[in-house]
Structures are given as C-alpha cells and as structure tokens.
Amino acid sequence: MLELKSITTGYGKFRVLKDVSIQVSTAEIVCVVGANGAGKTTLMRAISGVIPIWKGSKTFSGRNLTKLSPARVTREGIIQIPEGRLVIKELSVEDNLLLGAFSNYFKLRKTELKGDLGNVYDLFPQLRNRVRQKAGTLSGGEQQMLAIGRGLMGRPKLLMLDEPSLGLAPIVVDTMFEVIRRLHDEGLPILLVEQNVRAAMEISNRGYILETGHVVMEGDSTGLLTDEKVIKAYLGA
C-alpha cells in the first residue's frame, strides 16, 4: 500500500534520514520506534509532504506521491495525527472534528457527516458530552482523542500516528492503544511512530527500528521483541 524506497531528506542542509525504506501493507499496523532524534517525526513529515524528499520515492496504492503537496497527499487518503496533538484550542470539539473532514466536506451529504461524527463519538464517548466545549479546555488525553477523531473525519486510507502516548497518564495510554487495536480490527492500515517500544511492538504486525536516520533493524514485531539487541537497547534489560 505505502512504500518508501531509499528516501533521504532533512532540513536546510542538514540531512536527517538517509536511504530509509519502509512498507505498510493493507490492514497492517507497522511501528517505527527509536530514541529521540532518530528521525521518526521527520519520516512522518516526509510521508505527509510537509518536507520534500531529496532522494528516493514514495508510492501509495500504486501512485507516485513523491512530489505532491501535503494537501494532495491528504486527498489521496494519508492522514497524519501529529505529535503534540495540535488541536485548535479556540474552536469547539465539534468544529475541530469538522475541520478534519475539510478535504471531503463538499463531497459528503449532511447525513454522511453526521454519521462520521457519530462514529467518532462512539469511539470516544467522552467527546460526545463536550461537543461545544473549547478544545483548549480539554485534558491532554481528551485532546489526543480529539486529534485522532479529527483524523478519522478525513476518512483515511492510511492513518499515521506520531507519538500518541506522549505525555499521557498510563491509564489513558492504555485507552489509546486499545483504540489503535480496534481501528486495525476494522481494517484500517496504521503507521505508528512511538518511543514506547514494548507497547508499540505488542500491537503491531511488523516493526522498524530507526537510529540516527537509518533503519538498523526490521521484521516481525514478535521477533523483534525477543531479539537480544532490542531487549538490551530499548526494553531496559
């Protein structure tokens, strides 16, 4: 479905990713893990088109998206939930969700939009009682729910999650990973970037380990979790 071949990119003259190749297949959860500064968020930005790919290629469902703008990438069905959530704090919960549907807004009937909103509220019942509340007054966990819900309103063909557990209480982290598992069970392909290596690997089909802009290991998540090098480097053993 998504295939990156030997991409190199960065900021200004500073190269962050070097010949990185990853794949995400239909109905698969793939995680990319690594320490701070490994290049995980840069990878997400390159996929979304926020930063240009200097070398290599990006294809999605057989289409070459390497040079497309972020808006065009979104219209193709790749939706990113950014690190830090980035909800629009001055707007209500429901207005934030409706903004997520912008790329499809004029294509959908009102009943379809209401149906999509209902699906988000079913997934996150806490938001149903806060539809008129300003997003900036929500807790961190609720803002993460809103960010994911906003992404789902765009009807993604591939959902990309950048550090969804960052800064959240453990009980909320469990909720986030349960939601990810539920979305996967419903057939949505997911690319997950996480520092919580164990949690990410446990819900993923496959994983990539990124270090200083390079993929240093890849494979079945179960195998990576039992690999001695991964245990020593990332699991505190």
Supply the CATH number for residue 53's domain.
3.40.50.300
Mean pLDDT of the chain: 92
Whole-angstrom distance, CA of residue 150 vs CA of residue 155: 10
- Residue recorded with tokens 């993923």: 204
Question: Are 10 and 17 spatial neighbours (Cβ–Cβ below 8 Å)?
Answer: yes
Instruction: Kindly report the length of the chain.
Output: 237
pLDDT in tens, 185-236: 999 999 999 888 888 999 999 999 999 999 999 999 999 999 998 888 887 6
Question: Are 158 and 24 spatial neighbours (Cβ–Cβ below 8 Å)?
Answer: yes
Domain presence at residue 180: yes
Domain presence at residue 113: no
| Tokens, residue 163 | 């550090």
What's the whole-model pTM score? 0.91
**Domain membership of residue 162 as a residue range:** 2-92+157-192+214-234
Q: What's the number of domains the chain is made of?
A: 1
Sign of the Cα torsion 59, 81, 192, 231 reads positive
SS3 (DSSP) at 131? coil
SS3 (DSSP) at 86? coil
| pLDDT of amino acid 237 | 54
